Amino acid sequence: MTVQEIKNRFGIIGSSPSLDRAIDIAMQVAPTDLTALITGESGTGKEVFPQIIHNLSTRKHGQYIAVNCGAIPEGTIDSELFGHEKGSFTGAHEARKGYFEVANGGTIFLDEVAEMPIATQARLLRVLESGEFIKVGASKVLKTDVRVVAATNVNIQQAIEKGKFREDLYYRLNTVPIVIPPLRERKQDIHLLFRKFATDFSSRYRMPNIKLNTDAEQLLANYYWQGNVRQLKNITEQISVIEKTRDINAEILLKYLPMVSKSSLPMLFNNSGNTEYSERDLLYKVLFEMKKDLTDLKKIVVDIINSDGNLNNDIINNNSQTLKKLYQDVQTSDNNETTSIQLHQPIIKQKEIVQMPPIEIEDSLSLEDKELELIKKALQKHNGRRKNAAKELGISERTLYRKINEHSIK
């Protein structure tokens, strides 16, 4: 069976080399009993690959069970996976088989495996190594023959460093790694997926198909797609149902794309999942990097001037306004962390060299000052309208209101 035949069978759309590589690895590992760990961002379609592995394996006639580890409460996940005996805990009115017992001879897909509690991870490790497990409340060791495929959108290496995931379990699961590329790295596939979703929704809701013009296609391809294929599908459905016109331009499409992800810049990793702070940190990061580049440029200019001891009046007159403008935007900050540069500019006047007084340049590195400055500028730009200012800053109106009170902005 070829990669294209697999795509047709499982409804996979795209021709990205990285996607084809992931499918090829799944095909190669399927006939074996090796465990596989599928990694990729949320919404990339990781759930399709365990099905490929199961259906191309010798276990295809056995049971296939998909388990979302993040959706099962910590107190019941052991019972769900390994079963329990009657009376083993409150509410256990009868004995129950777990997924590992039910799926004997088949495949279990453990989605969001990084959300599994540490105690359950130890039980899972034993199953992977020996095929043995014990029901909750029992003492008898049971055997099972199950193929395990796991998936996660979490950086497991960081989870290991924080003690949230067992390192030995990671290496046991990661026998064959399969990496699913994010949608933004599959630009050639984005419009194909959009057309497929648009056709599906046109048929489902019995309405004419929507189409993108050239500008809208370009916008679609360059968008960050933090939610990947799932986000693209949702937006296509929204446009199909809400918009009366069937010809979609960039202006219409832009209304459905969240502003926080328009940039192609990499998003900052935030363990807490608080996107509000990650967006603000990203903005600060970009601003500080631009400021640093400007400061470096100033240092280069200063070095060039200091190294030239034979400046004549024409050169000085021609560049005096430029030099003045170069430094006029640098203001003194009350923050202690500053970078100082001294410029000793020789001026030749009637064969007499006059030394200019040193000019001290300081760059503020205070996050609070930059935050206050950005908020004031946004409010001033939108004449005090908090909703528009919050949209400009990429934060919620509630957060902006809190910041206004914190800084006592009138």
Asked which of 199, 231, 261 is the last residue of a domain, the reply is 261
Confidence of residue 378 (pLDDT cuts 50, 70, 90): confident
Has residue 255 been placed in a domain?
Answer: yes
Residues near 397 by beta carbon (within 8 Å), at least 6 away in sequence: 386, 387, 390
Has residue 257 been placed in a domain?
Answer: yes
Question: Residue 327 pLDDT > 60, yes or no?
Answer: no
Average pLDDT estimate for 134-161? 94
Contact at 8 Å (CB) between 79 and 136?
A: yes
Rounded to the nearest 5 degrees, what angle is found at the Cα of 185, between the Cα atoms of 228 and 396?
A: 45
Total count of residues recorded for the chain: 410
* Residue 160 and residue 78 in one domain: yes
Total structural domains within the chain: 4
* Residue 91 and residue 206 in one domain: no
Question: Residue 172 pLDDT > 70, yes or no?
Answer: yes
* Residue 332 and residue 399 in one domain: no
Residue 231, helix vs strand vs coil: helix
- d(C-alpha 293, C-alpha 372), whole Å: 22
Query: Is residue 149 classed exposed, middle or buried when 0-12, 13-18 and 19+ CB atoms within 10 A define those classes?
Result: buried
* Residue 164 and residue 310 in one domain: no
- d(C-alpha 97, C-alpha 99), whole Å: 7
Residue 64, helix vs strand vs coil: strand
Contact at 8 Å (CB) between 154 and 110?
A: no
Owning domain of residue 201: 184-261
Asked which of 181, 215, 244 is the last residue of a domain, the reply is 181
Question: What pLDDT does 79 receive?
Answer: 94
* Residue 301 and residue 331 in one domain: yes
Residue 41: both structure tokens together = 């961002």
147-152/211-212 β-pairing = unpaired
3-state SS track over 358-400:
CCCCCCCCCHHHHHHHHHHHHHHHCCCCHHHHHHHHCCCHHHH
Q: What is the CATH number of the domain that holds 380?
A: 1.10.10
List, in sequence order, every residue forming a beta bridge with 179; answer none if it has no partner. Answer: 39
Number of H helices, E strands in the chain: 17, 13
CB count in 10 Å sphere of residue 279: 21
Residues near 405 by beta carbon (within 8 Å), at least 6 away in sequence: none
Count of CA atoms in the C-beta half-sphere (13 A) of 356: 17
Rounded to the nearest 5 degrees, what angle is found at the Cα of 146, between the Cα atoms of 144 and 151?
A: 135
* Residue 299 and residue 396 in one domain: no
* Residue 107 and residue 229 in one domain: no
Question: Residue 240 pLDDT > 90, yes or no?
Answer: yes
Q: pLDDT (tens digit, 9 = 90+) per residue, 100-131?
A: 999 999 999 999 999 999 999 999 999 999 99
Has residue 284 been placed in a domain?
Answer: yes
Question: Residue 277 pLDDT > 90, yes or no?
Answer: no
Has residue 266 been placed in a domain?
Answer: no
* Least confident window among 289-293, 324-328, 342-346, 353-357: 342-346
64-68/107-111 β-pairing = parallel
* Residue 83 and residue 137 in one domain: yes
Contact at 8 Å (CB) between 210 and 243?
A: yes
Q: pLDDT (tens digit, 9 = 90+) per residue, 186-233?
A: 999 999 999 999 999 999 999 999 999 999 999 999 999 999 999 999
Q: pLDDT (tens digit, 9 = 90+) per residue, 265-274?
A: 444 444 444 4
Has residue 63 been placed in a domain?
Answer: yes
Global pTM reads 0.63
- d(C-alpha 80, C-alpha 208), whole Å: 46
Asked which of 156, 181, 206 is the last residue of a domain, the reply is 181
Has residue 270 been placed in a domain?
Answer: no
* Residue 111 and residue 236 in one domain: no
Torsion of CA 72, 75, 78, 80, to 10 degrees: -50
- Of 349, 356, 294, nearest to 326 by C-alpha is 294
List, in sequence order, every residue forming a beta bridge with 355; answer none if it has no partner. Answer: 346
List, in sequence order, every residue forming a beta bridge with 96; answer none if it has no partner. Answer: 84
Question: Residue 84 pLDDT > 80, yes or no?
Answer: yes
Query: Is residue 165 classed exposed, middle or buried when 0-12, 13-18 and 19+ CB atoms within 10 A define those classes?
Result: buried
* Residue 143 and residue 163 in one domain: yes
